[in-house]
A = this chain, B = another copy of it.
Amino acid sequence: MDIFKIQIEGINKESKQLVQKRKIIALLNKAETALPIPVICRGVRISVPTGTKLLNELIEDQIIVEAGKIETDNGRRPVVYKVNPQCGYIVGVEILLKRISVSIFNIEMKEIFEAKDKEFVLENTQDCLAQVLTFIEQCIVSSELETNKFLGVGIGITGRVNAMTGESYNYFNFLENGLTSFISQRLNLPVFIDNDTHVLGISELFFGKAKDARNALVVNLSRGLGLAIIMNGELISGDRGFAGEFGHMQFGDSTKLCICGKRGCLGMEVSGFALEERFKESVENGESSLLLQKNSTDRIRYDSILQAAWQGDALSISLLHEIGIKLGKALGNIVNLLNPGLIILGGKFAIASDILTDSIKSGMTHTALSQPLRSCSIMFSETGADPGLKGAGAQVLYHYGLI
C-alpha cells in the first residue's frame, strides 16, 4: 500500500498529488456515507476536473470504489464513491497480563478475523516476546489476506508505554531500539503501540461516546485503575507517555502500601483489586452476602462481586457505592483541573453503571467546583466487544491520518 507511506518522504515530483490523494482517502474514510465528486472536491479544495482525475487513478489502483448513485431532491443524480474496504487491513493486538488477543480489521474498522483471549502469561522475557510475535504472524497467515495489503499493526499493552518512541517500559524493555521497531522489522510492517488504557481512550474517541467531545476523560476501571485524557480532541500522552496515572493519585484516606511504594494511592481504594480486598474484610467482620453460598471468600474475584451487585446483593452494592464516592471525589479534582465536557466510565466496571452513577456524581460534588461540574456529563461506555482491541488497531489509521 505505497500510497499510505508517502507522507514521510520529502518533496518530489509526485508528492503534492499524493498528498491530495491521501486527503481524498481520509475524507471518504471519515465520512459516514459514500460521497459524490463535487463534495469530495470541495472537501479537499480542488477543482472538479483534477479531483475526478485523481479519483479515477485511485479507482484504477482499487483504493476507491463506486458505491452507486444517491437520491437527491433535484438535478442529476451523482455517483458516490467510498474507500474500498478490501484495499487495506490493520492488525490490532491487545497484550494483557494473562491473555493476548489479535483482530484484523479492514479499513472501515470492521473486524474480519479474530483470535481472542488466548491464554498466555505476560513476562519480561525474550521467550514471551517470541510467543507474541508468532501468535501475530499466525493470525496474519490464518486470515488468508494478501500480505502486501496490510497497513500496519497497532498494539495495546499493559504497563507504562512511550507511544512516541515505541518503547514499553515494563515489558520487553530489554530491546535496544524499542518494542515497535523490533516488531516492525520482524513483521516488515509499521507498528504503533500504547498502553491498554490509552488504547481504550482511542476507542472511545473515534468510535465511542467521546466522538463529538473535544475534552473528555475515559476511566478504565477494571482490576486496576487507569485514565485516558482527551483534550482538544487529542489523546494526551505527556512527555514520555505516562499521562493518566490515575491509580497512583495520592488522594485516598487508606494507608495501604501500594506497589509503587507510596501510601494513599487511589488505586488501593478504587479498583477491582480494592473491591476484592474490601469484600474479604467485610465478610471477616461478619457481614453476609449472596456470593458466600457458592464460593469461599478467597476465590471470589471482582467480576463476581460486580455481578452480585447487579443481582441485588446488599454487601456488594454498598461496597460499590463506597468506591463510587471515592472515585467521584478524585474525578471532581480532575474536573477542576481539566474542565472536561464528558467523563466516560469504561472497563469491566461499566456494567455496574446503574449502581455507580449516583455515587460518583455525589462524590464529585464534594470536590468539583460548581461551574465546571455543571458542564460535565457522566456516561458509561457502550462500545461493542473488545473496545481496547479496536482502539489498538485504530492507532494505525490515526497515524495515517485516515481517522
Q: Is A227 at the interface (CB under 8 A from chain B)?
A: yes
- Chain A interface size, as a band, is 35 or more
Q: Is A231 at the interface (CB under 8 A from chain B)?
A: yes
- In the docked arrangement, what's the CA distance between A81 and B333, Å? 50
Q: Is A56 at the interface (CB under 8 A from chain B)?
A: no
**CB pair A244 B332 closer than 8 Å:** no
CB distance from A237 to the nearest CB of B (A): 7
CB distance from A324 to the nearest CB of B (A): 17
Q: Which one of B45, B231, B242 contacts A371 once the chains associate, using CB atoms below 8 Å?
A: B242
Which residues of chain A from 341 to 385 have a CB within 8 Å of any chain B CB?
A: 341, 366-367, 369, 371-372, 375-376
CB distance from A204 to the nearest CB of B (A): 16
0/1 per residue, A197-240, Cβ < 8 Å to B?
00000000000000001110000000000010101101011111
20 A-B pairs with C-beta separation under 8 A: A11-B42, A214-B239, A215-B239, A232-B234, A232-B236, A238-B338, A238-B339, A238-B340, A238-B372, A239-B372, A242-B371, A242-B372, A243-B338, A243-B339, A245-B339, A246-B336, A249-B333, A250-B366, A260-B369, A262-B367
Q: Is A329 at the interface (CB under 8 A from chain B)?
A: yes
Known: A337-B249, A367-B250. A236 touches B231 (CB 8 A): yes
CB distance from A167 to the nearest CB of B (A): 12
Nearest 10 A/B pairs, CB to CB: A238-B339, A239-B341, A242-B339, A245-B336, A250-B367, A243-B339, A242-B372, A215-B239, A231-B236, A240-B375
Which residues of chain A from 1 to 48 have a CB within 8 Å of any chain B CB?
A: 11, 16, 42, 45
Q: Is A169 at the interface (CB under 8 A from chain B)?
A: yes
**Please, which residue of chain B has its CB at the minimum distance from the CB of A216?**
B239
**CB pair A243 B337 closer than 8 Å:** yes
Q: Is A82 at the interface (CB under 8 A from chain B)?
A: no
Q: Which one of B213, B214, B237 contacts A339 once the chains associate, using CB atoms below 8 Å?
A: B237
